[in-house]
Amino acid sequence: MHDFSNKSMFEIYNILNKLLNTSSEVSFSVLNPDFLDSCYAGRILEINNKSYIYRGFSSYVDLACLLECKLLTPKILTKETIQLTLKKIDKNRSFHKNQVHNEKYGVSSTFSQINKNEEPDFLINYIKCLENVKIKTKKRVLNLGVNSAGEFEIIKQLCENFDEIEFVGIDYSQSAIELAKQKFKEYKNVSFFVHDINNLDSLNLGRFDLVISIGTLQSSTINFNETFMKIYQNSMLKDSSIILGFPNCRWHDGQMIYGARAKNYSFSEMSVLYKDVMFCKKYLQQKKFRVTLTGKNYIFLTATSIRK
């Protein structure tokens, strides 16, 4: 086991980077993050004639993520030190690569194993977006790319008046929509449609005072700018709100890995993500919307009309 008690993060990163090229798992000892309270990373401590460099546990969580590893449960070694182990993520176990019966997002797919509502970074930011648009005051809510309706499940827990709001969910996956219907079969105010978002107008659904779309409009089968403008023009009321979620992560081996990655890049490259985010932001601001951007692994754009 390697002793990293007094090594800088620069040294640790370079050593681990080399070791992980030839090994799937690496263990090392560091100063126990609980040894001190209210201490910033980098502070040097002298304990029993030995030097230690302090870091909080979150520093090692970030390190594992950036090295595309799982951080295994720490082990206490001594009063001062703990053992940490990084295990390389198996990228072959990924919904990005696996398709089942040509339904990449269906109930038999690897994607169906992902529950974003159990990831704090997604859940808490999504809740804040819903609170920002005053979800309890909405009358008609449209979700584009609803899949199995995870976003509606959170709204149901937030709103005691859930059954007084009309919800419509649209997705291209037949099996995901069937599952969503089962989840909400007791609610007459919730409807689901298997349909292509590119041809949304043919459903004649009318207009909504909240439109939600999480990680759907960036699909390779959708013309992002054109589709977004059509949604605004044809589906939203003038005093409505919108919540868009832009994935800034990848899913491998049971892990949500921070950072969008474009083709032909070996590291996170987010130019396309920010281009789409800023297009929506500027477009909505021109239409007299107040726009906020939040989130980490998902960038949330929330817009509310400020027209008088």
Residue range 174-210, pLDDT digits in tens: 999 999 999 999 999 999 999 999 889 899 999 999 9
The distance of Cα 170 from the centroid of its chain, to the nearest Å, equals 20
Cα–Cα–Cα angle for 204, 169, 280, nearest 5°? 85
Q: Is 7 a member of any domain?
A: yes
Residue 165 shares a structural domain with residue 252: yes
Residue 294 shares a structural domain with residue 176: yes
Residue 125 shares a structural domain with residue 84: no
Residue 58 shares a structural domain with residue 118: no
- Give the count of domains, the chain: 2
Q: Is 64 a member of any domain?
A: yes
Q: Is 101 a member of any domain?
A: no
Distance CA 99, CA 87 (A): 26
Residue 81 shares a structural domain with residue 135: no
Residue 68 shares a structural domain with residue 188: no
Q: Is 105 a member of any domain?
A: no
At residue 116, the 3 state secondary structure works out as helix
In this structure, what CATH number is given to the domain that contains residue 25?
A: 3.40.50.150
Residue 22, amino acid: T
The reported pLDDT for the residue numbered 307 is 76
The tens digit of pLDDT for each residue in 11-42 reads 999 999 999 999 999 999 999 999 988 899 99
The tens digit of pLDDT for each residue in 206-247 reads 999 999 999 999 887 888 999 999 999 999 988 899 999 999
Mean pLDDT score, 110-135? 93
Q: Flag whether pLDDT at 102 surpasses 70.
A: no
